[in-house]
């Protein structure tokens, strides 16, 4: 991965740390490990996001996807943002990126 792509992915990930799940408004979706992958494809003018929700029946799913899209577009305006939702692997507390928060949920 070239340095421009790496920096852009990093910038997108940092911006996603400003998006909060309405069910857990004190923890951003990146730290909650709702974002599994960010793929920046500059030649295709596209950003692919692989993510999950806290539950398959998340009542805020559409809102979260819109918030993620808006956050990405703040970093790379004009790109096509595609979001794929997956529940594999099954999300669990050990996936949370902050050790203190992991303990809070256990």
Q: For residue range 1-22, what is the model confidence (pLDDT) as tens digits?
A: 688 889 999 999 999 999 998 8
Q: Is the pLDDT of residue 105 over 60?
A: no
Domain 3-105 has CATH 3.30.420.40: no
Going by C-alpha positions, the residue among 63, 103, 95, 65 that lies closest to residue 82 is 65
| Extents of the domains making up the chain | 3-105
CA dist 42 and 79 (Å) reads 8
Q: What is the 3-state secondary structure (H, E, C) of 29-60?
A: CCCCCCEEEEEEEHHHCEEEEEECCCCCCCCC
Question: Tens of pLDDT along 37-76?
Answer: 999 999 999 999 999 998 889 899 999 999 999 999 999 9
Q: Token pair for residue 19?
A: 């998006």
- pTM confidence score: 0.85
**Maximum mean pLDDT: which of 32-36, 74-78, 99-103:** 74-78
């Amino acid at each position: 991965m070239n340095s421009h792509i790496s920096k852009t992915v990093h910038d997108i990930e940092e911006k996603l740390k400003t998006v909060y799940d309405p069910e857990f408004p004190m923890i951003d979706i990146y730290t909650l490990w709702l974002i599994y992958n960010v793929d920046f494809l500059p030649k295709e003018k596209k950003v692919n996001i692989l993510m999950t929700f806290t539950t398959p029946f998340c009542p805020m799913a559409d809102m979260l996807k819109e918030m993620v899209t808006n956050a990405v577009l703040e970093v790379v305006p004009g790109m096509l943002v595609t979001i794929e939702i997956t529940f594999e692997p099954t999300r669990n507390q050990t996936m949370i990126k902050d050790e203190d928060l992991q303990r809070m949920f256990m």
